[in-house]
Amino acid sequence: MNLVLLGPPGAGKGTQAVRIARECNLSHLSSGDILREERKSKTELGQAAQEYMDRGDLVPDNLIIEMMMDRIANLRGFDGFLLDGFPRTRVQSEGLDSRLKAAGESLDAVISIEVDEDRLVERLTGRLYCPSCGRTYHLTFSPPARAGICDHCGDALIRRKDDSPEVVRQRLATYKEQTRPLVAYYGDRGLLRTVSGVGEIDTVTQRIKEACQA
Ligand code: AP5
CA distance 187 to 171: 23
3-state secondary structure of 4: strand
CA distance 62 to 89: 11
Give 94-134 pLDDT, tens digit per residue.
999 999 999 999 999 999 999 999 999 999 999 999 988 88
Residue 6 · residue 183 · CB < 8 Å: yes
How far is the centre of ligand 1, averaged over its atoms, from the C-alpha of 6 (Å)? Answer: 10
pTM over 0.85: yes
Q: Is 171 a catalytic residue?
A: yes
Catalytic pick among 123, 127, 193, 207: 127
Q: Is 13 a catalytic residue?
A: yes
Q: What is the pLDDT of residue 104?
A: 93
How much is the average pLDDT of 137-163?
95
Predicted confidence (pLDDT) at residue 214 exceeds the cutoff of 80? no
How far is the centre of ligand 1, averaged over its atoms, from the C-alpha of 10 (Å)? Answer: 5
In whole angstroms, what separates CA 77 from the centre of its chain? 22
Catalytic pick among 36, 88, 135, 207: 88
Q: Of all atoms in ligand 1, which is nearest to the CA of residue 128? A: 44
